[in-house]
Each structure stands twice: as structure tokens, then as C-alpha cells.
């Protein structure tokens, strides 16, 4: 197995880019990440995208984007709902680690705003079980709401216990120029927000928007020429039943636990070695269950972790330091690549107002649907 | 219109047809044997039509096929035979719903499908009327 390193990274601002196409966003991110690297060195392009065939009415995104970029190489679109970008990163990782390639590019791109919200909700619900859930009218937000309702019941908590996740995300988003929402909120504002899918309220729901992010992955041979290479020291994915009713434990994200444990084991790290973390946090319940699956909180205790400030920038486990899904914006299948671009900036000391001091090791976990797919990557400052 | 699909699903949607394993486990819907399982390990079984509310949500932001409805109620029901399923809830208001309350199955319209407005029916659950 070859070691895998991250070289260039870039992302677009997360916005409702009504004046820009999927291809416009993809090319901006690709140009930024590839920079002055000779494009002829690129041996493969992995595109993470969840909604392109539905909302942009375009399939074959690998070839479509590679062609526009002037690349004639292996080009593959990877789809696993919200985990698409993270899974594309894993494919890029495997291509380098296996020795099949020395330079690949991973792109996450989502163009969500070409259709109205009801159509977007319909597209997002494709990540649910089509016959058992989607056909009933269940939305992806509604599915997370089912988990939250049960969580509140089992642990006898008020909905406001989840407010610190969104408050933290907005505090951090205010310092990220790429974020969709650059303003702070407080717990009172959170508590007064209208319901979207009870008990999830508007300030506990991310906004899906447009964006693209890209990273260049290289083998050690090329990493020596990179100013601040970041090593991918752990990469793992796992799956569980898509249908919620077919899971043995509704409040345990089995795939998140398995992929997290496997990535840590591969990296030969204990979880307390992680300085900074990115999770799938479109709602507080998603962040809470992920923290519990990863072993950072006992079951039923994750909201306490958030309330105590553990996830804040000055806490022991800073979460969503660029705003997370809630403030940076939910970029669908591009999210997994955004997470890594943001963590690389932290590890390189380039995170500006949101910089976490002495961050050396970071973990990114990205979920598809309600955690049926989970992908975890562990990044570390490298010495080549 | 995906007429063959609607026809194929009539057993699970009209009659709650699932499967029961020789060891007593029940699952829904009927599905092929998993890898490593004997092909006849699971036999056809009609699920219990009553159970209790395990979780629920009231969706106020809905998909295009459902956005004519101001609120879509969806719940998870733990049936009397131990099987869990997800269903739309009907004949009730969000304020009436409590986890653990008794529920029963009814057959109702799920909506219209395709350009010809094919009416699709299936199971929904409502608070149980009589104990």
C-alpha cells in the first residue's frame, strides 16, 4: 500500500448560484485545486455527486466534467446520497494506495437550486428506501425527525437540548467567507423557530445549496514537491439498512460506528488523538448520534457534550469549525469533499478566524441518507 | 406511469404481507433470502394489523407529489408481532400523537401516480378506535 497525501484543495462559496451551472462550479473548484500542476499528470477524476441526474438532468458526470476540464483519463461519478463526495475521496484514496495511480483528483459538486424546493425534497428523498419510505411521502428531513422524536422520548430531553449544535455551527460559519449563512444565532432564537418536521425546527435544519470542492491526491513520490502535504492515515466506509424500520436499533448509526472504528484502527490512533472533527450535521440529532457512534459520548449524552462546550472552537473536540451543514450550507453529495478542504485548511494553519491552535490530526465522517452509508477519513500533518 | 410496480406491490400494500422465519422472527416486506440463508427459511406471513406508535413526525415542508397537503404525518409502528414499519398516519392531529399509543392499520389512498392519475392505495395507521 502506498501512502496517500493531499496536495491542492479548493472550494467555491456555498450559495444559491442561480447564475452558474454545475459545470461552472465544478471547473472553478478544479482550477483552484489543480493550480499549476501539469494536467497531463492527472490519471483519474472521481466525482462525488448525489443529485445531478435528477436536478441537472445529466448523467455520466465523470466524462462530462473531465471533458470540460480537458482531461482524457479514467473519470467516474460516485453516488451514495450525501456521502457521495466522501466515497469519491475513498475511491481516489484506493487508487493511490493500491499503486494504480500517483496523481488523482477528487471533486464533489452539487447543483441543487435549478428546481423548486418541492422537487429538491423529492430528489433528496431518493436516499431513503423508495418503496417503504419515499412512497409514503417521507422526506429526508422527516426521517431524521423520526430519530429525534424517539431520542427525546428515550432520554427524556426537551428539543432545546439540540440547540447548541446549531448555535456552534452558526458561530463558526460567521468566520467562513465560503459559508452560506455568516451570522450567529442564539438558543432563544433557535427555540422560537417554526417547525419543519416536528420536532425539527427551521434552525435545526440545514439549507441545501450549490457548491463544488476539489482535492488533488498524490503518492509519496509527488508529495515531496508539495509545500504542506497532509496524509490520509485512515479511510474506511461501511453500510447499514437504508430503511429505518429494518434497523435493529433506530438510535444507533451502525455504519458510522463501523467506519469510524475501522478508520481509527487503520490510523493506529485512539479517538482522543483527534484534535478537530467534521460530521454530517444537517440537524443536531445527526451530530449527536454520530458523536455517540464514534464513542465520543455515551448513548443519550451527546447533547450534554454540546451544552458543555466540548464542540466549540476552544473545546476539546471542535466540531463544524467552518460552519458545518447548518451555516456553511448543505452541499449534498459535495459535502464530503468540503469537509476535507476545510480540515486541510485547519491542519495547514490557514483557517483564518476559525483556526484551531495546534491542530495536527482531524477526522471527517460523512453520511449518506440517514447513515446507511458512512465514510470516515483521518487526516494528519505529514512529514515527507 | 409505473403500473407494473404498483401491481407488484399489491400484497405488501393491501394485505401487509411480510415473512416469518422458522425461528419466529418477522420481517416486512417479503424479500429474497439473504446470502447464506436457505431459500425457504422465510415463509409468507400476514403482519399483525395493530401495534404501538414508536416515533412520529409532522412534515410541513413536503415533496412535490405531496405539497398539496399542509402536513404529512409519518410514524413508525411497532406491531404486535414485533415487526417495525414506517407508515403515514391518518384520522388524527399531531397534538393527539404520543409515543406508545395503540395504533391500527387501515387501507387508504396514497395518492395519484403518473399522467393518468392512477390511484394508488395502501396501508396507513390511525390511533386505535376500540381497545
Rounded Cα distance, A249 and A298, in Å: 15
CB within 8 Å: A137 and B9: no
For A163, A207, A313, A317, B114, the CA distances from A320, given in Å and listed in that order, are 14, 15, 9, 10, 42
- Mutation target vs A (from B51, B62, B94; most A CBs, 10 A cutoff): B62
Residues of B within 8 A of A125 (CB-CB) are 63
Domain presence at residue A74: yes
Please say whether the beta carbons of B104 and B128 come within 8 A: yes
Chain B: give the shortest CA distance to residue A194, in Å.
10
Query: Residue B98: inside a domain, yes or no?
Result: yes
Q: What does the alpha-carbon distance between residue A246 and residue A310 come to, in Å, rounded to a whole number? A: 33
CATH code, A217: 3.40.47.10
Q: How many domains does chain A have?
A: 1
ipTM above 0.90, yes or no: yes
Residue to mutate among A126, A136, A193, with most B CBs inside 10 A, is A136
Contact A146 B9 (CB under 8 A): no
Number of helices and strands in chain A (H, E): 14, 11
Cβ of B63 and A137 within 8 Å? Answer: yes
d(CA B121, CA B10): 9
B35 domain-assigned: no
Q: Do B28 and A121 touch (CB under 8 A)?
A: no
Q: How many CB pairs under 8 A join A and B?
A: 104
Say which residues have a Cβ less than 8 Å from residue A196's Cβ, sequence separation at least 6: A141, A145, A202, A204, A205, B59, B60, B61
Whether this model's pTM surpasses 0.95: yes
CA distances from A281 to A207, A209, B104 (A): 11, 15, 34
**Cβ–Cβ contacts within 10 Å for residue A202, how many?**
15
Residue A272 DSSP symbol: G
For A330-375, the DSSP string reads B-GGGHHHHHHHHHHHHHTT--GGGPPTT--EEEEEEEETTTTEEE
Enumerate chain A positions whose Cβ falls within 8 A of a Cβ in B: 116-119, 121-122, 125, 131-133, 135-139, 141-142, 145-147, 149-150, 153, 194-200, 243-246, 250
Phi then psi dihedrals of residue A311, to 5 deg: -90, 0
Q: Which of A125, A198, A245 sits opposite B76 (nearest CB)?
A: A245
Give the structural domain span for A40.
Answer: 4-116+208-223
With beta carbons under 8 A apart, name residues in chain B contacting A243.
86
Determine, yes or no, domain membership for A78. Answer: yes
- CB-nearest to A122 from B65, B69, B111 is B65
Structural contact between residues A327 and A169, judged by C-beta atoms closer than 8 angstroms:
yes
> What is chain A's alpha carbon radius of gyration, rounded to the nearest angstrom?
19
Say whether B99 and A149 touch across the interface (CB within 8 A): yes
Per the structure, the complete domain to which residue B47 belongs is given by 3-30+40-127
Q: How far apart are CA A285 and CA A266, in angstroms?
A: 28
For residue A113, the number of C-alpha atoms closer than 13 Å in the C-beta half-sphere is 17
Q: Work out how many domains chain B is built from and give that number.
A: 1
Can you give the CATH number for the domain in which B123 is found?
2.40.50.840
Closest-CA residue in chain B for A147?
B55
pLDDT per residue, tens digit, chain A (384 aa), is 999 999 999 999 999 999 999 999 999 999 999 999 999 999 999 999 999 999 999 999 999 999 999 999 999 999 999 999 999 999 999 999 999 999 999 999 999 999 998 889 899 999 999 999 999 999 999 999 999 999 999 999 999 999 999 999 999 999 999 999 999 999 999 999 999 999 999 999 999 999 999 999 999 999 999 999 999 999 999 999 999 999 999 999 999 999 999 999 999 999 999 999 999 999 999 999 999 999 999 999 999 999 999 999 999 999 999 999 999 999 999 999 999 999 999 999 999 999 999 999 999 999 999 999 999 999 999 987
Q: Is the residue at B99 inside a domain?
A: yes
Q: Is the link from the previous residue into B29 a cis peptide, with omega within 30 of 0?
A: yes
CA distance B97 to B116: 35
Tell me whether residue A71 is in a domain: yes
How buried is B43 (Cβ within 10 angstroms: 0-12 exposed, 13-18 middle, 19+ buried)?
exposed
- Identify from B63, B83, B85, B97 which residue to disrupt to test chain A contact, counting A C-beta atoms within 10 A and taking the largest count: B63
Is A68 within the bounds of a domain? yes
Give whole-number Cα distances, A332 to A50, A281, A340, A370, B10, in Å.
6, 12, 14, 13, 34
Tell whether A36 is covered by a domain: yes
Beta bridge partners, B42, equal: B21
- A343: in domain: no
Amino acid at each position: 500500500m502506498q501512502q496517500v497525501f493531499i496536495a491542492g484543495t479548493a472550494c467555491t462559496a456555498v450559495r444559491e448560484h442561480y447564475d452558474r451551472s454545475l459545470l461552472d462550479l465544478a471547473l472553478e473548484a478544479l482550477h483552484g485545486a489543480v493550480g499549476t500542476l501539469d494536467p497531463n499528470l492527472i490519471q483519474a477524476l472521481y466525482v462525488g455527486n448525489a443529485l445531478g441526474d435528477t436536478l441537472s438532468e445529466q448523467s455520466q458526470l465523470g466524462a462530462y466534467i473531465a471533458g470540460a476540464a480537458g482531461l482524457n483519463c479514467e473519470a467516474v461519478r460516485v453516488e451514495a446520497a450525501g456521502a457521495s463526495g466522501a466515497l469519491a475521496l475513498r475511491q481516489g484514496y484506493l487508487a493511490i494506495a493500491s499503486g494504480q495511480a500517483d496523481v488523482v483528483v477528487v471533486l464533489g459538486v452539487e447543483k441543487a437550486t435549478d428546481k423548486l424546493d418541492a422537487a429538491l425534497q423529492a430528489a433528496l428523498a431518493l436516499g431513503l428506501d423508495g418503496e417503504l419510505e419515499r412512497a409514503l411521502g417521507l422526506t429526508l428531513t422527516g426521517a431524521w425527525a423520526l430519530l429525534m422524536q424517539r431520542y427525546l422520548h428515550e432520554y427524556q430531553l426537551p428539543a432545546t437540548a439540540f440547540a447548541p449544535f446549531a448555535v456552534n455551527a452558526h458561530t463558526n460559519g460567521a468566520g467562513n467567507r465560503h459559508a452560506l449563512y455568516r451570522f450567529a444565532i442564539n438558543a432563544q432564537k433557535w427555540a422560537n423557530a417554526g417547525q419543519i418536521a416536528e420536532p425539527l425546527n427551521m434552525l435545526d435544519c440545514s439549507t441545501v445549496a450549490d457548491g463544488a470542492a476539489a482535492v488533488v491526491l498524490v503518492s509519496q513520490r509527488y508529495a515531496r514537491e508539495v509545500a504542506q502535504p497532509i496524509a490520509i492515515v485512515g479511510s474506511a466506509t461501511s453500510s447499514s439498512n437504508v430503511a429505518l424500520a429494518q434497523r435493529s436499533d433506530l438510535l444507533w448509526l451502525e455504519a458510522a460506528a463501523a467506519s469510524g472504528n475501522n478508520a481509527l484502527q487503520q490510523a493506529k490512533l485512539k479517538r482522543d488523538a483527534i484534535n478537530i472533527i467534521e460530521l454530517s450535521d444537517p440537524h443536531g440529532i445527526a451530530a449527536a448520534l454520530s458523536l455517540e457512534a464514534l464513542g465520543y459520548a455515551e448513548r443519550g449524552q451527546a447533547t450534554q457534550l454540546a451544552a458543555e462546550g466540548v464542540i466549540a472552537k476552544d473545546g476539546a473536540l471542535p466540531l463544524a469549525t467552518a460552519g458545518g451543514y447548518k451555516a456553511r450550507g448543505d452541499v449534498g453529495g459535495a459535502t464530503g469533499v468540503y469537509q476535507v478542504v476545510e480540515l486541510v485548511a485547519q491542519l495547514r494553519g490557514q483557517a483564518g478566524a476559525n483556526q484551531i491552535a495546534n491542530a495536527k490530526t482531524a477526522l471527517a465522517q460523512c453520511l449518506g441518507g440517514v447513515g446507511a452509508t458512512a465514510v470516515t477519513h483521518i487526516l494528519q500533518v505529514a512529514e515527507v | 406511469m409505473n403500473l407494473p410496480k404498483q401491481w407488484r406491490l399489491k400484497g405488501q400494500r393491501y394485505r401487509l404481507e411480510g415473512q416469518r422465519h422458522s425461528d419466529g422472527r418477522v420481517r416486512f416486506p417479503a424479500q429474497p433470502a439473504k446470502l447464506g440463508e436457505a431459500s425457504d427459511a422465510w415463509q409468507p406471513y400476514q403482519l399483525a394489523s395493530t401495534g404501538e406508535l414508536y416515533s412520529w413526525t409532522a412534515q410541513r415542508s413536503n415533496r412535490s407529489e405531496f405539497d398539496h397537503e399542509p402536513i404529512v404525518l409519518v410514524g413508525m409502528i411497532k406491531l404486535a408481532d414485533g415487526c417495525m414499519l414506517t407508515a403515514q398516519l391518518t384520522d388524527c392531529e399531531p397534538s393527539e400523537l404520543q409515543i406508545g399509543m395503540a395504533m391500527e392499520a387501515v387501507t387508504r389512498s396514497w395518492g395519484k401516480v403518473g399522467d393518468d392519475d392512477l390511484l394508488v392505495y395502501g396501508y396507513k395507521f390511525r390511533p386505535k378506535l376500540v381497545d
